[in-house]
């Protein structure tokens, strides 16, 4: 298990590093969207995600909801195949966040 870290690169660019799983996503992670408040255009690179499950997809959906409510444009890059497959199973692959992800 790799600990989850969100690394800010500046200018609205973020990298998620580690696992996006039930074991690594805690209540603090789910409730702490402060990093998204630093910009009106955010790009989250998921290329360093090593393992994911449905908790990772749920977190992405929470980010999407939060950014919509706060009028922040959100883009994802390098979405792992596991997350794409989970999104497809649940119908979220039709979202523009997945359609233009890379």
Q: Mind listing the pLDDT tens digit for each residue in 4-44? A: 999 999 999 999 999 999 999 987 887 788 889 889 999 99
Domain count, the chain: 1
What's the length of the chain?
A: 102
Selection from 31, 33, 35, 5 nearest residue 18 by Cα: 5
Would you say residue 13 lies in a domain? yes
Would you say residue 87 lies in a domain? yes
Would you say residue 98 lies in a domain? no
CATH of the domain at 18: 3.30.750.24
Model-level pTM? 0.88
Percentage of the chain modeled with pLDDT above 70: 95
Largest CA distance in the chain: 34
- The residue segments making up the domain with residue 42 are 5-93
């Amino acid at each position: 298990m790799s600990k989850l870290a969100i690394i800010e690169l500046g200018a609205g660019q973020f990298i998620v590093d580690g696992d996006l799983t039930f074991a690594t996503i805690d209540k603090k992670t789910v409730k702490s969207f402060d990093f998204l408040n630093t910009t009106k255009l955010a790009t989250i690179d998921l290329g360093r995600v090593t393992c994911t499950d449905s908790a990772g997809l749920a977190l992405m959906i929470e980010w999407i909801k939060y950014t919509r409510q706060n009028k922040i444009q959100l883009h994802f890059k390098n979405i792992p195949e596991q997350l794409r497959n989970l999104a497809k199973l649940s119908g979220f692959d039709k979202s523009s966040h997945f359609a233009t992800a890379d």
